Amino acid sequence: MSRAELKIGVKDRDLSFMVGDITKVPADAIGNAANSRLAGGGGVDGAIHRAGGPAIMQELGQIRARIGQCPAGDAVATRAGKLPAQWVIHAVGPVYRDGRSGEPMALRSCYERCLELSDELGARTLTLPAISTGVYGYPMDLASNVAVGAVASKLSGSETKVKRVTFVLFDETAFRQFAAAALDIVPALAS
């Protein structure tokens, strides 16, 4: 179980943060930090594919046959295989260059698409990782502000039916960055 947790209300919805293994936290939908080829990889993507089993990759193969690649900032959904969820939302984050090459907009779009697809699928609970902060090199402090801002903004509006979003972060450092961003951003949305 998590060593660190934070839960903040956003209107009548919950925004939570915890340290843990995203493949073990039950939710209707699980966000995945995917690559544009939708071909599986390391980090969160590899963990999700290992835990969920081959059915996820088989479904992604059908999606690839239809659309080719998925651009940064967009996402696709598959069933969740053996994961404690119904759906996996494969969001493609940007590779960080300098912060002035469209990365913040693409990262924000990843999180917005996760919520939009959750609504389309009827998911009311969603877990999310820190997209693009691993091998894609997005600095955690910058990524946390973009991620929390995008999700909190969607939760504070009336267009989403998602009731709970939980950021499942891989270590205490990521947790502290995301918690700090939430404590700055969420109260500002309420005022």
| Whole-number Å distance between alpha carbons of 137 and 143 | 10
Model confidence at 190, pLDDT cuts 50, 70, 90, reads low
- 45 part of the active site: yes
CATH number at residue 71: 3.40.220.10
**pLDDT 10s digits, 72-85:** 999 999 999 999 99
Q: Where are the beta strands (DSSP E) in the chain?
A: 5-10, 13-19, 29-34, 75-79, 87-92, 125-128, 164-169
The residue segments making up the domain with residue 123 are 5-190
Strand partners, 5: 18
Of the listed 45, 74, 119, 184, which one is catalytic?
45
Residue 42 has pLDDT above 90, yes or no: no
Q: Domain count of the chain? A: 1
pTM of the model: 0.95
Decide if 31 contacts 25 (C-beta within 8 A).
Answer: no
DSSP lists the bridge partners of residue 87 as 29, 79
